[in-house]
Chains A and B, each alone.
Chain A
Amino acid sequence: MTTLPEMRTTFARPAGGSGRWGSILLTAVMTPLALLWLAPLALMLLFATLPDSSIFSPTLPAPGTHFFANVAALAGSANFLRALGNSVMIGLIYTVLSVLLTSMAGYAFARFEFVGKNVLFSLLVATLTVPYAVVVIPQYILIARELGLSNTWVALIVPPLFNSLGVLFMRQSFGGLPQELLDAARVDGAGEWRIFFTIAMPLVRPAIAALSIILFLASWNSYLWPLLVGTTPGARTAPVALGSLIGLNVVPWGALMAGATLMTLPMVVVFVFLQRYFVAGITAGAVK
């Protein structure tokens, strides 16, 4: 069965030096660093509640009540709520499709022997070391120029489905299932698709959860590709809409910070509750 690598938080280790003072010293050193790390997000939240005139004040202002006014300004100037809606829908569709495709492929790699398996698998691993810059130009020529699909959801959702990390991750997860379970179902006369969907997939639910989170986050945060193929106000995603405000002559900082908050805060909340799924997704390739 698949289990997620839990982040252990304690183990017995021989205490080096004096325990109590070491503990106080370590915590005292780490605290300013942690505060420094939290500062950008804290200031983002603070500025999101302020009118533009108070953001550039010489002293640190107190939190204001302008958050909804900032969101309203953002909705007006960048059609931001529409963009947020696009991002949510595109992220969800992308995640479902990508989980399905990469699970099927990972399952094939984990549970079957077939001609060309090693070559295909090496190609997949190689994709990890190939910069995205190399494939983005022909992708753009194909989607935008040859197929004329700019500003469609197909253009925003389909090309990023090529990601190989999901295949590697699901291969590892399906590889851990006991063969007898699948064979038993075959003896019972279940078809291969039925085995996959009703037995294999439910058994790797934790891995699917981890992968879904990582894929949704990648889609939600994606900037370069949507910037290229989603240019009209109706097709823009949240990052593209937000980034477009930077180019204005008078940058609406309060609105920008409110937009950054709307993009960030839901993800931070999800992260707090589902931390181990994020961790499992990130460490998938690193630790065997």
Chain B
Amino acid sequence: MAATISPSVTTSRPARAGRGKPIDRQWSVPYRFLLPYLVVFAIFWLWPLIDSFLLSFQNTRVNPWTVDVAVNWRRLWVDQAFHAALRNTLIVLVLQVPIMLALATAIALALDSPKLAARPLFRFAFFAPIVVSDVAYSVVFRLLFNGQYGAVNQALTAIGLPALDWLHDPTWMMATIIIAVTWRWTGYNAIIILAGLQTIPKDLYEAAAIDGAGAWRRFRHITLPLLKPVIVFALVLSVIGTMQLFTEPWLITDAQSSGVSIEMLGTYLFKQGFRNLNFGYASAIAYTIAAMAAAMAAFNLLLARRSPT
């Protein structure tokens, strides 16, 4: 995009009298630019980060709150509901993230290929979900996956398959969440991967083709290794996002009520923190999420650095 230079640069004005060194910058200038942001950052990120760590060692079910180093962490260890939430989250994570990233890579490759006709239309189809709010698509998916009259079951029965209880059976609830999240985030990841694809020098492919490498070998030995940093970046973001899924289980399945629902870490944290107002226990859950996200991010980075391709 064309950049215009403001006229004050080009028309030189007479230097102000009495100023010895015009380029002499005061040491405080960068801090003055930083100050407003840093104040917000300190109050709403840095302090909360410390505070929730401290909260996880406090009993917040008594008034006033007391320091009790073990109460929340011991409960975490024995709490069956927490274990169920953890298990559900990990199952969704292990299934959803790889499926989504494989799909996103395939879609990015297709969108990058000059062989695909009507590419703007395809890009619109896959990228449009990135602007749709969690709440909007969650209510839409809740309607589409309705067990009795939902469009999905109507489509299944129309082609001779059995209707499924998407919103009440534990297995199919999990599938619904996975499908919903995959619909919303595949295009987002495809955009990241597509940007990565476009940084790969094209002469590499030409050279490989001249050497007689087929399409699969070119993908396996050029595209994939060079894409790895970008895919790892997408993987880390996806893992962190999926670990704290809240809106989808909250609104698509009945996680709000105590009825049939798929409890996940995000919804369990919400209930403990903001329904029961047990901030200490919720903080322990939050730090568990953070620790696992950090561990997975570190593991992925390590894996990416190690493997020799």
Contacts and interface: CB of A to CB of B under 8 A. Distances in A.
A158 B42 CA distance: 12
Given A220-B133, A223-B247, A224-B246, A43 B256 contact: no
Given A228-B274, A286-B230, A134 B48 contact: yes
A135 B52 contact: yes
Interface string B160-187: 0000000000000000000000010001
Interface stretch (B21-29, B69-77, B78-86, B94-102): B21-29
Contacts of B1: 2-4, 205-206
A199 B123 CA distance: 36
A16 B213 CA distance: 10
B192 A30 contact: no
Interface string A123-163: 11001011111111111111000000000000000111110
A69 interface: no
A184 B126 CA distance: 46
Interface in A256-284: 256-257, 259-260, 263-264, 267-268, 270-272, 275, 278-279, 282-283
Given A105-B33, A112-B33, A221-B135, 7 more contacts: A101-B40, A108-B34, A120-B38, A137-B52, A161-B40, A239-B133, A267-B132
Contacts of B256: 246-247
B218 to A, nearest CB: 8
Interface of B: 1, 3-6, 8-9, 12-13, 15-16, 19, 22-23, 25, 27, 29-34, 36-38, 40-41, 43-49, 51-52, 55, 107, 110, 113-144, 146, 148-149, 151, 154, 183, 187-188, 191-192, 194-196, 198-199, 202, 205-206, 209, 214-215, 218, 230, 233-234, 236, 240, 243-244, 246-247, 250-251, 256-257, 265-266, 269-270, 273-274, 279, 282-283, 285-287, 289-290, 293-294, 297
B48 to A, nearest CB: 4
A9 to B, nearest CB: 6
A181 B116 contact: no
B40 A188 contact: no
A198 B6 contact: yes
14 contacts: A38-B125, A44-B136, A120-B34, A135-B45, A137-B52, A137-B55, A161-B44, A185-B8, A206-B1, A221-B133, A239-B133, A259-B139, A282-B191, A286-B192
Contacts of A55: 143, 149
Given A161-B40, A162-B41, A203-B3, A186 B140 contact: no
Contacts of A96: none
Q: Interface on chain A toward B: helix, strand, loop, or mixed SS?
A: helix
Interface residues of A, number: 127
Contact of B140 (A30, A108, A257, A268): A257
A129 B240 contact: yes
A188 B15 contact: yes
A123 B191 CA distance: 27
B240 A37 contact: no
A105 B151 contact: no
A4 to B, nearest CB: 7
Nearest to B126: A37
Among A12, A23, A161, find the residue whose CB has the most chain B CB atoms closer than 10 A.
A161
A264 B131 contact: yes
A23 B116 contact: yes
A8 B112 CA distance: 8
Contacts of B202: 11-13
Give the 6 A-B CB pairs with smallest separation, nearest first.
Answer: A138-B48, A112-B30, A221-B133, A56-B149, A138-B51, A34-B125
Contact of A188 (B8, B46, B126, B192): B8
A167 B126 CA distance: 28
Interface string A12-51: 1111110100110011001001110111110110010000
A198 B5 CA distance: 9
Contacts of A159: 44
B157 to A, nearest CB: 9
Contacts of B131: 217, 264, 267-268, 270-271, 278
